[in-house]
Amino acid sequence: MKHSLLFGLLCSPVGIGFGIILRINDWGSEELTTGYGLGFISSAGIAAFLAPCFIWYIMIERRERISVSRGITVGALGAALAHFVCWYLFILSNYIEKLYLGKLTEYVLGPLEGILAALTYSFVSLLLFGLIILPIGALIGGCYATHIKETQYKTLLKRVADILKVL
């Protein structure tokens, strides 16, 4: 579990960074960063942590099969899934904010409607930013898998050397 958590931590600055870039450039609605909800920047950071962490655990850590190609694949898949998770967290936080903290004077997407909206928004955001985000995720995944393999190889060589010293 510790490798997947560290991988999520390595990916989260990318989400936070792109959230900040979008906020500076005022992409989309002004409501993205106002109010009591999570806001787009924090939704992007949380999603960039959760999605790659989950996929790394499912595809690599649980099966105990690490390779650079798997790391690259997991990094790209984690980046793609993070788009959906980010939009869904943002929609859900706005729903909770309007439901419990504000007056419902305008229509707000509910949790079930938010799934379809998040799929649509993530598809569009992947078209706009996928050529940047997916290679970054793949690069982080490949570098992290290489680091783990080298660390495991050095540890194995050290153990073999210790056993040979005893003999």
pLDDT tens digit sequence for 103-150? 666 677 888 888 999 999 999 999 988 899 999 999 999 999 999 988
Look at 65-79, 81-95, 148-162 and tell me which has the smallest mean pLDDT. Answer: 148-162
By CB atoms closer than 10 A (0-12, 13-18, 19+), residue 102 is middle
pLDDT at 36 over 50: no
Q: How large a percentage of the chain has pLDDT more than 70?
A: 87
pLDDT band, residue 54 (cuts 50/70/90): very high
Question: Domain tally for the chain?
Answer: 1
Please tell me which residue, 141 or 153, carries the higher pLDDT value. Answer: 141
What does the pLDDT read at residue 20? 83
Report the interhelical angle of 2-24 vs 68-96 (nearest 10°).
60
pLDDT at 93 over 60: yes
What does the pLDDT read at residue 37? 46
pLDDT at 47 over 80: yes
Token pair 């056993």 in the structure block, residue: 163
CA distance 122 to 33: 18
User: How confident is the model over 3-30, as a mean pLDDT?
Assistant: 82
* Domain limits for position 34: 2-166
What does the pLDDT read at residue 80? 95
CA distance 157 to 132: 38
